């Protein structure tokens, strides 16, 4: 068997195992919290009899392990359970919101990933000169300011004062793609600012590290321009570390989007999760946790696989 | 237009140094060197490390490696002073008019790109040829350089061809854009001797057939004598001697050149085996974890007290693996090791402190074998504490004794490894192993990273110490000149097997087996025309078969 296929299938198997572990952890942790779904439904006024009845009805008296595997079995079949608060099917609600979150994250990613890599290359080209310092200063500043602050500042100046964009990033199915893009422009911009610095700095560091290599000297002695040397000879060897940090940031765009979604009242996963937590809607919290874990593990797995495939020694064995 | 392609006048090169504990400052590393190179001729630049030979070679491309700066003088290429031309013209010069072949092709090829893409890049970039023409030319060069499957080898990645093949690809890379001058920087130094001879011949023929001029940089006078028309001997950034190859080899004027020509003249009389060997390796078969083949097959050798057994072979022959088995780092699959009359445990964990003390090791890379944050005194004192529980004045006295034995002396006690030269570092490593009062020392390529004259000094020291301490050496090397200089018995290894074993006089006397013959005849000899003789001899032999 080709070593790539072997390595990739190993990674896939490991990813599934990890996801399984994550689901157990999420379930276990919510289980460890005081109170349960029955208490959450009945609230403060619950009598012991009513609680016991409801627990019986919801099957909460069964051992945790049985409930875990029931829940897990449901997930595998696409059944995430029903919300306690509005009795709606969680899979349906998440589906729509996950779509919205992914849309926002993709817009931010499509802007930020190429921009970060380009800025990283530019910083290497002008290393220790003013463009490098300017790029570093700006990206470090934006990453150091909390995203909600940037969000509110932008809302104040751009939405309220200038009136260019709406402060509420509402999207729905009836909107055209153009309208949607217009609606998410501000939150996507904030997210871009947040993830830009890390990706740009990793690109810069990874390529600078390679610039000491003998093959870079060979390329310089061929009379190539500095930018050709960086883009043609250094970048292909830097793909692996860059993809890793890009994937971490993409995962952050999906998972860490909570704050930005709340600031801009965007109907995505973050809003949904925050609502569920405030209402103690345990099944929704569990479902969101699993979805986030899946996204995180999935993206990191993609990074691993890209690293494997990008390695010519593995792609073309002797 | 004159025939002079490269004219260097009073070239001065400086660099910024960062000595430990001092402020960075500028020093001059090349002090006014001048020479001429005509079209189609080859000039050999020879010298030890630090002589400035690579730096001068790269100066012909207006390139300074790291913090190196070309501070003065003139470098004329094709009728213009390239130290005064604008940057855009320099780009045309590099890769277009002057090309570079480095010591390590393995590091100089981009691992992520196909060989062909890299070979044709300069030619296409400088618009000398279209991509298609350049590929055709590359294939011709691959064939001329004797590469297997020249039509398709360009589609491979660098890791898919051998070191010797890659070095030829590097030569093709340099010649592809039809440059006027190629700078060869130690192009065969990293290769095995048997591979070196083929690559050397391929380079020589390529130079002759393409009519390109070349600067051939090396530390090996015997090699440069085979390829160059003129030779310039450099030392510490100064010209020592500059003349025709014939004059430099056969009639050197300067003392330093004479020393280089007569290097490796150590005489050592072979000792007779004793009845009781200090080390006896019997039937060792070993393999590395995760591999499904053996790297050592039934190895049997003996080493006698106070004598030297040289284990010689090319890379991959298993000689370093044998050292790992003897030290216990790699437990063998089969076989036994007897040391000082007792059976050694196959694994490191099963050995007593006495076993460890009596069997010491010295490595090829002295600078990574020492803790850079410890002084020489601490480094040498450590085994004294560990094995003999020495403290205070007693330890200090012994350290000074050892420093005297390695001809460094007390003043080196408080220095750090970074303040020592390569040869001095290796001497400290020798003192550290002697501190344990071992019965036997494994020397793994201990002189390979050193310049010939320095290496000679180390070998002499090792022989002197052997007389005083009666210590036995298992001397691992790929260099047959070293073997001749110091061994009492020799084991020739090839593909994990000992193919020839016996006393020095037996092993080095005919009749030879095929491999030993190949190995011995591949060692460059210091006379003109040696390369052609060997190649012609081999052609005749293969025709005879």
Q: What is the pLDDT of residues B135-182, one digit of tens each?
A: 999 999 998 888 888 999 999 999 888 888 888 899 999 999 989 999
A218:B159 CB<8 A: no
- B99 lies within 8 A of chain A by CB: yes
- A161 lies within 8 A of chain B by CB: no
- Residue B473, pLDDT above cutoff 60: yes
Determine contact, residues B491/B498, Cβ cutoff 8 Å: yes
3-state helix, strand, coil in chain A (%, to 5): 80, 0, 20
Residues A123 and A238 in one domain: yes
Residue A211: HSE in the Cβ half-sphere, 13 Å Cα cutoff: 19
Residues A65 and A157 in one domain: no
In a domain, A218, yes or no: yes
How many CB pairs below 8 Å do chains A and B form together? 75
Residues A128 and A160 in one domain: yes
Task: Report the pLDDT averaged over residues B37-54.
Answer: 87
Give whole-number Cα distances, B357 to A154, B324, B332, B471, B489, in Å.
71, 16, 21, 13, 24
Residues A25 and A142 in one domain: no
Task: Report the pLDDT averaged over residues A282-302.
Answer: 87
**How high is the pLDDT of residue B493?**
93
Residues A263 and A148 in one domain: yes
Q: Residue A6: how many CB atoms within 10 A of its CB?
A: 12
**Least confident window among A35-44, A95-104, B25-34:** A35-44
| Selected residue of B90, B97, B110, B215 to mutate for chain A interface (largest A Cβ count, 10 A) | B110
Determine contact, residues A147/A280, Cβ cutoff 8 Å: no
- A212 lies within 8 A of chain B by CB: no
Of residues B527 and B183, more confidently modeled: B183
Residues 231-290 of B with CB under 8 A from A: none
Pairwise CA distance, residues B233 & B240, whole Å? 5
Task: Report the pLDDT averaged over residues B226-248.
Answer: 91
Taken in order of first residue, the domains within chain B and their CATH numbers are 4-261 (3.40.50.300), 279-509 (3.40.50.300)
What's the pLDDT tens digit per position in A169-190? 777 777 778 888 888 888 888 8
The percentage of residues in chain B with a pLDDT greater than 70, rounded to a whole number, is: 98
The percentage of residues in chain A with a pLDDT greater than 90, rounded to a whole number, is: 8
Residues A131 and A25 in one domain: no
Q: End of a domain among A53, A76, A99?
A: A76
- Residue A41, pLDDT above cutoff 80: no
Phi and psi at B363, nearest 5°, equal -110, 170
Residues A185 and A51 in one domain: no
- Going by pLDDT thresholds of 50, 70 and 90, the confidence category of residue B1 is very low
Q: End of a domain among A32, A50, A76?
A: A76
What's the pLDDT tens digit per position in B416-460? 888 888 889 999 999 999 999 999 999 998 988 788 788 888 899
Residues A16 and A139 in one domain: no
CA dihedral B531, B536, B539, B543 (to 10 degrees): -160
**Least confident window among A30-34, B97-101, B417-421:** A30-34
Distance from CA of A236 to the nearest CA of B (A): 6
Q: End of a domain among A36, A52, A76?
A: A76
**Least confident window among A42-46, B231-235, B428-432:** A42-46
In a domain, A317, yes or no: no
Contacts of B122 in chain A (CB under 8 A): 222-223
The per-residue pLDDT of chain A, averaged, comes to 84
Interface predicted TM-score of the whole assembly (ipTM), two decimals: 0.77
- A307 lies within 8 A of chain B by CB: no
Partner residue opposite B108 with nearest CB, options A214, A225, A236: A214
* Number of DSSP helices (H) and strands (E) in chain B, helices first: 20, 20
Taking CA–CA distances from A228, the nearest residue in chain B reads B125
Note the pTM of the prediction, 2 decimals.
0.78
The per-residue pLDDT of chain B, averaged, comes to 88
**How high is the pLDDT of residue B34?**
93
Residue range(s) defining the domain that contains residue A131? 91-303
Where is mean pLDDT largest: A74-83, B300-309, B316-325?
B300-309
- Nearest Cα neighbor of B281 from B344, B374, B231 is B344
A313:B96 CB<8 A: no
Domain of residue A207, CATH code: 1.10.3720.10
Residues A107 and A238 in one domain: yes
- Residue B376, pLDDT above cutoff 80: yes
Pairwise CA distance, residues A85 & A95, whole Å? 18
What's the pLDDT tens digit per position in B49-58? 778 888 999 9
**How high is the pLDDT of residue B2?**
54
Give the count of domains, chain A: 2
The percentage of residues in chain A with a pLDDT greater than 70, rounded to a whole number, is: 99
Residues A198 and A283 in one domain: yes
Task: Report the pLDDT averaged over residues B345-359.
Answer: 90
Distance from CA of B155 to the nearest CA of A (A): 11
Taking CA–CA distances from B62, the nearest residue in chain A reads A221
Name the token pair of B65.
């490696």
């Amino acid at each position: 068997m080709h070593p790539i296929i072997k390595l990739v299938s190993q990674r896939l198997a490991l990813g599934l195992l990890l996801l399984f572990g994550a689901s157990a952890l999420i379930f276990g942790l919510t289980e460890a919290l005081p109170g349960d779904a029955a208490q959450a439904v009945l609230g403060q006024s619950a009598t012991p009899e009513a609680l016991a009845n409801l627990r019986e009805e919801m099957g909460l008296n069964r051992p945790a392990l049985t409930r875990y595997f029931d829940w897990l079995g449901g997930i595998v079949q696409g059944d995430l359970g029903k919300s306690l608060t509005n009795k709606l099917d969680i899979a349906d609600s998440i589906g729509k919101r996950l779509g919205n979150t992914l849309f926002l994250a993709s817009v931010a990613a499509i802007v930020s990933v190429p921009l970060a890599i380009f800025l990283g290359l530019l910083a290497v080209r002008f290393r220790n000169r003013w463009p490098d310092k300017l790029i570093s200063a700006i990206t470090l500043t934006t990453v150091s300011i909390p995203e909600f602050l940037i969000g509110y500042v932008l809302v104040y100046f751009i939405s309220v004062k200038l009136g260019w964009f709406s402060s509420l990033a509402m999207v729905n199915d009836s909107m055209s793609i153009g309208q949607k893009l217009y609606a998410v422009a501000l939150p996507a911009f904030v997210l871009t600012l947040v993830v830009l610095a890390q990706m740009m700095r990793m690109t810069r560091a990874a390529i600078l590290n390679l610039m000491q290599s003998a093959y870079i000297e060979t390329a310089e002695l061929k009379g190539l321009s500095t930018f050709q040397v960086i883009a043609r000879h250094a970048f292909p060897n830097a793909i692996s570390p860059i993809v890793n940090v890009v994937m971490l940031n993409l995962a952050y765009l999906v998972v860490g989007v909570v704050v930005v979604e709340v600031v801009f009242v965007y109907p995505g996963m973050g809003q949904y999760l925050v609502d569920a937590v405030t209402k103690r809607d345990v099944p929704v919290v569990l479902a969101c946790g699993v979805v986030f874990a899946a996204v995180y593990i999935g993206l990191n797995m993609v990074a691993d696989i890209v690293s494997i495939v990008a390695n010519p020694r593995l792609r073309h064995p002797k | 237009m004159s025939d002079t392609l490269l004219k260097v006048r009073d070239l001065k090169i400086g660099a910024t140094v960062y000595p430990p504990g001092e402020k960075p400052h500028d020093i001059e590393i090349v002090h006014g060197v001048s020479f001429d190179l005509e079209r189609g001729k080859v000039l050999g630049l020879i010298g030890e490390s630090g002589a400035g030979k690579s730096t001068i070679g790269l100066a012909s491309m207006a390139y300074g490696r790291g913090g190196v700066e070309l501070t003065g003088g003139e470098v004329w290429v094709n009728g213009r002073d390239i130290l005064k031309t604008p940057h855009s013209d320099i780009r045309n010069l590099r890769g277009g008019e002057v090309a570079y072949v480095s010591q390590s092709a393995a590091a100089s090829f981009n691992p992520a790109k196909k060989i062909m893409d890299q070979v044709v890049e300069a030619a296409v970039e400088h618009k000398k040829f279209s991509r298609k023409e350049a590929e055709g030319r590359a294939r011709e060069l691959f064939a001329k350089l004797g590469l297997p499957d020249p039509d398709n080898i360009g589609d491979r990645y660098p890791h898919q061809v051998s070191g010797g093949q890659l070095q030829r690809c590097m030569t093709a890379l340099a010649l592809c854009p039809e440059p006027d001058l190629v700078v060869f920087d130690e192009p065969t130094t990293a290769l095995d001797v048997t591979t070196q001879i083929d690559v050397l011949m391929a380079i020589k023929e390529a130079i002759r057939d393409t009519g390109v001029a070349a600067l051939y940089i090396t530390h090996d006078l015997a090699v440069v004598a085979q390829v160059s028309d003129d030779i310039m001997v450099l030392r510490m950034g100064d010209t020592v001697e500059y003349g025709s190859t014939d004059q430099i080899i056969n009639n050197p004027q300067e003392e330093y050149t004479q020393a280089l020509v007569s290097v490796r003249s150590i005489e050592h009389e072979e000792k007779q085996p004793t009845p009781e060997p200090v080390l006896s390796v019997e039937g060792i078969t070993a393999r590395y974890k995760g591999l499904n083949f053996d790297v050592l097959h039934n190895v049997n050798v003996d080493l006698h007290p106070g004598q030297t057994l040289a284990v010689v072979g090319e890379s991959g022959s298993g000689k370093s693996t044998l050292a790992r088995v003897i030290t216990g780092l790699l437990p063998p699959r089969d076989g036994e090791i007897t040391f000082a009359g007792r059976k050694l445990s196959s694994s490191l964990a099963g050995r007593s402190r006495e076993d460890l003390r009596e069997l010491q090791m010295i490595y090829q890379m002295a600078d990574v074998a020492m803790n850079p944050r410890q002084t020489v005194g601490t480094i040498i004192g450590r085994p004294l504490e560990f094995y003999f529980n020495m403290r205070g004045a007693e330890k200090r006295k012994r350290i000074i004794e050892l420093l005297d034995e390695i001809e460094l002396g007390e003043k080196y006690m408080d220095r750090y490894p970074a303040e020592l030269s390569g040869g001095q570092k290796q001497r400290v490593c020798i003192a550290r192993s002697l501190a344990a009062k071992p019965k036997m020392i494994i020397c793994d390529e201990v002189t390979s990273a050193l310049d010939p004259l320095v290496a000679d000094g180390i070998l002499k020291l090792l022989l002197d110490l052997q007389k005083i301490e009666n210590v036995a050496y298992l001397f691992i090397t790929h260099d047959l000149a070293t073997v001749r200089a110091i061994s009492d018995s020799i084991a020739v290894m090839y593909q994990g097997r000992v193919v020839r074993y016996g006393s020095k006089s037996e092993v080095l006397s005919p009749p030879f087996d095929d491999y030993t013959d190949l190995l011995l005849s591949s060692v460059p000899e210091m006379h003109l025309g040696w390369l052609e003789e060997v190649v012609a001899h081999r052609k005749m032999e293969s025709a005879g078969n």
